Amino acid sequence: MQTLMIPEIGHYALIIALLMALVQAVMPLAGAATRRPLWMAYARPMATGQFLFLGIAYLCLTASYLLDDFSVANVANNSNSMLPWYYKASAVWGNHEGSVLLWSLILAGWTFAVAHLSKRLPRDMLARVLGVMGLVSVGFLAFVLITSNPFERLLPNVPQDGADLNPLLQDFGLIVHPPMLYMGYVGFSVVFAFAIAALLEGRLDAAWTRWARPWTNIAWAFLTVGIALGSWWAYYELGWGGWWFWDPVENASLLPWLAGTALIHSLAVTEKRGTFKSWTVLLAIFTFSLSLMGTFLVRSGVLTSVHAFANDPARGLFILALLGITVGLSLLLFALRAPRVSQRVGFGWLSRDALLLINNILLVIMTVTVLLGTVYPLLLDALNLGKISVGPPYFNALFVPLTVALCLFMGLGPLSRWKDTSPRDLFRRSWLAGLAALVIGAVAPLLYRGEWNLKVSLGVAVALWIVLPMARDFWARSRHSAGRLAGIKRLSLAYWGMVLGHLGIAVTIIGVTVVSNYAIERNVRMGVGDSVEVAGYTFTMTELTNRRGPNYLADAAEIEVRRGDSRRRFTMTPEKRLYIARGMPMTQVALSPGLFRDLYVAMGEDLGDGSWAMRLQVKPFVRWLWLGALLMATGGLLAVADRRYRRSVKARDPERAVVAEPREATT
């Protein structure tokens, strides 16, 4: 199937989208500066058009994949006629060109959503926001067209079949992880555009926060899920059971997440109290810049990792230039305009404002330490000062204590009040919870494993210190004359969002603590009939077989598992696959998932003489890691659904709306 013109149509649509993005960037921004409504009116239709044409381009590429059009270089390099259709469709973003196209499409999607969901936004503001997003889009579409055209043809020597998708990527994870992550990355462009628009306009009021906040929360929720999916995927796909590697690419996604977390908290203060304004704007700029930097690190080939597709220096330079321009111009604008938007309101030492300030400082420090550990080796290498690598101990040594510090303040946050809280009040509300957290934390490892473990105690105590004071607060708030249920119903969705978000962190902390301290791994030599006991589970290899999949051959081991002396047994079947097109071996892990423990069995290598090196692991509480992330994301989304973002009457007079707003306790 190479006679169709589908790729050319796609290429054409891409060019049209670039032109539309150009118009969307220039006309509304110029219009807003010169107060010409007609020019500003270009913004919305151009956003729609751009989205439409990028959608067409994207569908064309997908069609080329589905139709096995190997005359398209991108398809020939990353697909194969034997590949199942769902992997063909997701192979589109399993490579450099396609993933940048997806990036652009998602950016256009967010722009489209802003254009059509923000009807109440003042005309100037909307024009500026869409204009800034248009500018970002111009940069990325130019990048796609100039350096990474996915529609390039291989003519006239069309390959008979494709080189196949990297077997590591042939997995459900590829279908969900990149789109989610990109939704998060790119979603921060919205708050970035809002921030730049506010700077251009020299005005940042409470209404601004109210428009920007939901978008930020949604982007943050997507990023949270995206990171969690990546961790989960690496856990079962790479074959050795790690869930976080402090790999530079992972850090690249963690950095905007940390900054974004600071941002959503800072936005809360800006909305409620009108303070932290320039700080919020700065954080918005940083968050999106870190997203861009993540894209640069991952896509430029400066990093060597599973994710680094492109090794073309021109691409790296292009993104680096794009990053430099974005950050440089934004910061320049910030320096010139920030004094105009800032506003001073005092607050007490012990107040929610102050606690959130500490939250922000700690999160920024965490961001900086991770950034340093990620970029330092790259800098040294670029300056020819030697090749080094910074290992996980560095990150653990800094990240863990900072997280503990963050959590100590997190426990107090929901109990405190805006502006000022009396220390005595705070103590009265939290001492019991604190004591309970300490006591339960101290005995938890004893009860769980019969042996004391300082790290586990600390982890559990910290998690409880987040949950217990919040639970007390929840109980107090849901009190109502018409009964508890009525009280619970009366709680705002924003409050629910905060509760779930913080609960999610606690759940993740428990997961990290337990799995890091109690996971057991044994690498053993096993032949048919051999039994190995790991943490109370007996693994017996009963059979070695051969299998044939659609595009691979596999050795499979049947492992019978029994817990203690119980009668119940079940079978786990890990595989070692050989993917035919690339001749590449792959480990297919067998998992027995559970809320309190995972069993993890992987085949290592064939040792000859009928035995295999096997990796057997028992991982308690590992699911809690990702469960916590899901809770956090749910919290972020619930907060968006809060009534105050949907109220239309007050939005017409935003300034007054804020004054009239009761001081809800939300973060």
Partner 1 sequence: MRAKRKQKLFVILGLVSLVAIAVGLTLYALRSNINLFFSPVQIAAGDAPLERQLRAGGMVKEGSVDRDKQSLEVTFTVTDYVDDLEVRYSGILPDLFREGQGVVVVGELQQDGWLRADQVLARHDENYMPPEVAQALEEAGYSPEDYQAKAPERLDAQDDGASQN
* Length, in residues, of the chain: 667
Q: Which amino acid is at 291?
A: S
The DSSP string of 77-100 is HH--TTS-HHHHHHHTTSSHHHHH
Among 77, 104, 266, 300, binds partner 1 (CB under 8 A): 77
State the minimum distance, in angstroms, from the CB of residue 578 to partner 1.
Answer: 10
Under a CB-based contact definition with an 8 Å cutoff, are residues 245 and 396 in contact? no
Cis peptide bond upstream of 156, omega within 30: yes
Q: Which is nearer to partner 1, 388 or 485 (CB)?
A: 388
Q: Does 235 bind partner 1 (CB under 8 A)?
A: no
Among 28, 49, 131, 162, binds partner 1 (CB under 8 A): 162
Under a CB-based contact definition with an 8 Å cutoff, are residues 494 and 639 in contact? yes
Q: Which range touches partner 1 (CB under 8 A), out of 34-42, 122-130, 260-268, 370-378?
A: 370-378
State the minimum distance, in angstroms, from the CB of residue 372 to partner 1.
Answer: 6
Q: Does 328 bind partner 1 (CB under 8 A)?
A: no
Q: Which range touches partner 1 (CB under 8 A), out of 364-372, 430-438, 498-506, 510-518?
A: 364-372
Interatomic CA distance for residues 572 and 59, integer angstroms: 39
Q: Does 78 bind partner 1 (CB under 8 A)?
A: yes
Q: Does 409 bind partner 1 (CB under 8 A)?
A: no
Do β-strands 575-579 and 531-534 pair in parallel, antiparallel, or remain unpaired?
A: unpaired
Phi/psi for 588 (5° steps) reads -105, 115
Q: Does 619 bind partner 1 (CB under 8 A)?
A: no
Helix axes 172-201, 6-34, angle to 10 degrees: 20
Among 33, 59, 440, 613, binds partner 1 (CB under 8 A): 613
Please list the residues that pair with 521 across neighbouring strands.
617
Q: Which two tokens stand for residue 38?
A: 């007609």
Per-residue x/- marks for partner 1, 566-585, CB under 8 A?
----------x-----xxxx
Among 90, 118, 137, 166, binds partner 1 (CB under 8 A): 166
If DSSP codes are grouped into helix, strand and coil, which group holds residue 524?
Answer: strand
Please list the residues that pair with 610 across neighbouring strands.
none
State the minimum distance, in angstroms, from the CB of residue 368 to partner 1.
Answer: 7
Q: Does 2 bind partner 1 (CB under 8 A)?
A: no
Selection from 213, 101, 118 nearest residue 152 by Cα: 101
Among 11, 88, 96, 337, binds partner 1 (CB under 8 A): 96
Q: Does 69 bind partner 1 (CB under 8 A)?
A: no
State the minimum distance, in angstroms, from the CB of residue 482 to partner 1.
Answer: 43
State the minimum distance, in angstroms, from the CB of residue 384 to partner 1.
Answer: 11
State the minimum distance, in angstroms, from the CB of residue 367 to partner 1.
Answer: 11
Q: Which range touches partner 1 (CB under 8 A), out of 2-10, 94-102, 318-326, 560-568?
A: 94-102
Q: Which is nearer to partner 1, 405 or 591 (CB)?
A: 405
Q: Does 388 bind partner 1 (CB under 8 A)?
A: yes
Selection from 100, 147, 115 nearest residue 50 by Cα: 115
State the minimum distance, in angstroms, from the CB of residue 126 to partner 1.
Answer: 36
Sign of CA dihedral 151, 157, 158, 163: negative
Among 1, 15, 325, 397, binds partner 1 (CB under 8 A): 397
Q: Does 532 bind partner 1 (CB under 8 A)?
A: no
Among 524, 528, 535, 544, binds partner 1 (CB under 8 A): 524
Residue whose tokens read 């969002």: 497
How remote is the C-alpha of 553 from its chain's centroid?
34
* Greatest pairwise CA separation for the chain in angstroms: 82
Selection from 96, 250, 229, 105 nearest residue 172 by Cα: 229
Q: Which range touches partner 1 (CB under 8 A), out of 16-24, 363-371, 475-483, 642-650?
A: 363-371
If DSSP codes are grouped into helix, strand and coil, which group holds residue 126?
Answer: helix
Q: Which two tokens stand for residue 405?
A: 């510090």
Q: Does 304 bind partner 1 (CB under 8 A)?
A: yes
Among 4, 52, 333, 368, binds partner 1 (CB under 8 A): 368
State the minimum distance, in angstroms, from the CB of residue 570 to partner 1.
Answer: 24
Q: Which is nearer to partner 1, 1 or 325 (CB)?
A: 1
Rg over alpha carbons for the chain, rounded to the nearest Å, is: 27
State the minimum distance, in angstroms, from the CB of residue 99 to partner 1.
Answer: 10
State the minimum distance, in angstroms, from the CB of residue 403 to partner 1.
Answer: 13
Sign of CA dihedral 179, 182, 184, 186: negative
Q: Does 317 bind partner 1 (CB under 8 A)?
A: no
How many residues touch partner 1 under the rule CB under 8 A: the total is 68
Under a CB-based contact definition with an 8 Å cutoff, are residues 211 and 119 in contact? no
Under a CB-based contact definition with an 8 Å cutoff, are residues 312 and 301 in contact? yes
Under a CB-based contact definition with an 8 Å cutoff, are residues 281 and 338 in contact? yes
If DSSP codes are grouped into helix, strand and coil, which group holds residue 490?
Answer: helix
The contact set with partner 1 (CB under 8 A) reads 73-74, 76-78, 95-97, 154, 157, 159-163, 166, 168-169, 239-240, 301, 304, 306-312, 344, 346, 349, 357, 361, 365, 368-369, 372-373, 376, 386-391, 393-394, 397-398, 402, 523-525, 576, 582-587, 604-605, 607-609, 613, 615
